[in-house]
Amino acid sequence: MRRKNLLLSGWGRFPSAKSDAFRPEKLSEIAACLRDGDGSILARGAGRSYGDQALNSAGAVVLTERLDRFLSLETEGSTSTLTVEAGISLSAIQRLLIPRGLMLPVSPGTGFATVGGAIANDIHGKNHDADGSFGAHVAWIDLLTASGDVRRLTPDETPRDFWATVGGAGLTGIILAAALRLLKIPSNAVALREERMPDLAAFLNGLRAARAAARFSVGWIDALASGDRIGRGILETADLSAEGVAITPRKAKAIPLNLPTFCLSRSSVTLFNAAYYHRIPRAGRQSLRAIEDFLYPLDALAHWNRLYGKLGFSQFQAVLPDDAAETGLRALLNAVGQGGTASFLAVLKTLGAEGSGLLSFPQPGFTLALDLPRRAETEALLARLEAITLDHGGRIYLAKDSALSAAGFARMYPRLAEFQAIAAEMDPVGRFASDQSRRLNLRGA
Amino acid sequence: MADRTWLILGASSPIARAFARLVAGQGARLVLAGRDTDDLNRSAADLRLRGATAVVVESFDAEDSASLDALAASLPRHASPGGLDVFLAFGLMPEQKAMEADPALAARCLTATFLGAAHLLLAIAPMLEAGRAGRVIVLGSVAGDRGRFSNYVYGSAKAGLAAFCSGLRARLYRSGVTLTFAKPGFLDTGMTWGLPGIFYAESPERAATTLLRAALKGKEVLYVPGFWALIMLIIRSVPEKIFKKLSI
A145/A143 Cα distance (integer angstroms): 6
Per-residue model confidence (pLDDT) at position A224: 81
Per-residue model confidence (pLDDT) at position A110: 96
ipTM of the complex model: 0.93
* Average pLDDT rounded to a whole number, residues A96-116: 97
Chain A closest CA to B237's CA: distance in Å?
33
Chain A closest CA to B164's CA: distance in Å?
30
Instruction: Supply the mean pLDDT for chain B.
Output: 95
8 Å CB contact of A96 and B50: yes
Which of A64, A70, A85, A102 to mutate to test binding with chain B, by most B CBs within 10 Å of its CB?
A70
Pair type for strands A395-396 and A313-320: antiparallel
* Average pLDDT rounded to a whole number, residues B157-176: 98
A182/A95 Cα distance (integer angstroms): 14
From residue A181, give the alpha-carbon distance in Å to each of A81, A106, A129, A139, B40.
4, 10, 18, 7, 25
Chain A closest CA to B106's CA: distance in Å?
21
Per-residue model confidence (pLDDT) at position A272: 82
B138/B117 Cα distance (integer angstroms): 9
pLDDT digits (tens, 9 = 90+) for A135-156: 999 999 999 999 999 999 999 9
Q: Which chain A residues are Cβ-neighbours of B49 within 8 angstroms?
A: 70, 72-73, 96
Q: Which chain B residues are Cβ-neighbours of A2 within 8 angstroms?
A: 190, 193-195
Which of B39, B49, B194 comes nearest A2 by C-beta? B194
Query: Does residue A69 carry a pLDDT above 70?
Result: yes
| Residue of B41, B37, B33, B35 lying closest to B16 (CA atoms) | B33
* Catalytic-residue membership of B154: yes
Indicate if the alpha-carbon torsion angle A22, A27, A28, A30 is positive or negative: positive
pLDDT digits (tens, 9 = 90+) for A349-394: 999 999 999 999 999 999 999 999 998 889 999 999 999 999 999 9
CATH number of this structure's domain B5-243, picked from the four choices 3.40.50.2300, 3.30.565.10, 3.40.50.720, 3.40.50.10860: 3.40.50.720
Q: Which chain A residues are Cβ-neighbours of B193 within 8 angstroms?
A: 2, 4, 23
Per-residue model confidence (pLDDT) at position B3: 79
Q: What is the pTM of this model?
A: 0.95
Chain B closest CA to A248's CA: distance in Å?
18
Which of A5, A26, A72 comes nearest B39 by C-beta? A26
B37/B147 Cα distance (integer angstroms): 34
8 Å CB contact of B194 and A85: no
A251/A393 Cα distance (integer angstroms): 43
Mention every residue, 6+ apart, whose C-beta is less than 8 A from residue A435.
A15, A17, A52, A53, A55, A56, A57, A58
* Average pLDDT rounded to a whole number, residues B26-43: 96
Task: Quickly state the pLDDT bin for A35 (edges 50, 70, 90).
Answer: confident
Residue A70, classed as helix, strand or coil, is strand
For the ranges A170-174, A272-276, A292-296, B127-131, which has the lowest average pLDDT? A272-276
Instruction: Supply the mean pLDDT for chain A.
Output: 93
Task: Quickly state the pLDDT bin for A308 (edges 50, 70, 90).
Answer: confident
Neighbours of B12 (CB within 10 A): 23
Which of B38, B42, B195 comes nearest A69 by C-beta? B42
Return the residue of A nearest to B203 by Cα. A66
Indicate the domain borders of chain B. 5-243
Task: Quickly state the pLDDT bin for A425 (edges 50, 70, 90).
Answer: very high
Per-residue model confidence (pLDDT) at position A343: 75
B222/A45 Cα distance (integer angstroms): 34
Amino acid at A226: S
Query: Does residue A261 carry a pLDDT above 80?
Result: no
Query: Does residue B2 carry a pLDDT above 70?
Result: no
Per-residue model confidence (pLDDT) at position A238: 98
Mention every residue, 6+ apart, whose C-beta is less than 8 A from residue A107.
A90, A94, A123, A125, A295, A296
For the ranges A104-108, A220-224, A387-391, which has the lowest average pLDDT? A220-224
Return the residue of A nearest to B18 by Cα. A66
A300/A253 Cα distance (integer angstroms): 6
List of domains in chain A: 70-185 (3.30.465.10), 189-403 (3.40.462.10)
8 Å CB contact of A96 and B49: yes
Which of B36, B43, B194 comes nearest A69 by C-beta? B43
8 Å CB contact of A69 and B193: no
